[in-house]
Amino acid sequence: MYRGEKMSRIAYNQREVDLLARLIRAEAVGEGDEGMLLVGNVVVNRVAAQCDVFRDVTSITEAIYQKNAFAGVESPLFQGPANTKEKELAQKTIEYYRRSPATYALWFKNPGTNVVCPEKFYGYLAGRFKSHCFYDPGEELRCDF
């Protein structure tokens, strides 16, 4: 590795940067840059996680297109091309960005504004950012990432 070169948490290609950029826009454009980065954390975590539920997910493409994984793939926002800023956010998430409440989150949910996040939704509530609730897997799933 060369000085200044960033080591990403997962393997990826430029097509997947674009794919992730489109997904984070579709899922969290209303949450601003930080919200999109946090949603990106969940996708990258699913690829990096070594727990049974995501063991067969080995790429960003597989994570995004896993059956019923992300409602955003059905959105018109997902279908259009990503802009430069969205690609930069996706790249940042893939390469190094992790932040609470999505540091270890494998799921998120948007119950709506002024609606309390359920304590449990597949995993355990790690926290909230604007309208999105983020959920960690908990000890019983034995995820290693």
pLDDT at 140 over 80: no
- pLDDT tens for each residue of 38-66: 999 999 999 999 888 898 999 999 999 99
Domain assignments of the chain as residue spans, ordered by start: 14-141
Amino acid 12 reads Y
Longest dimension (CA), the chain: 47
Rg over CA atoms, the chain: 14
- The whole-model pTM stands at 0.93
The architecture that CATH gives domain 14-141 is Orthogonal Bundle (1.10)
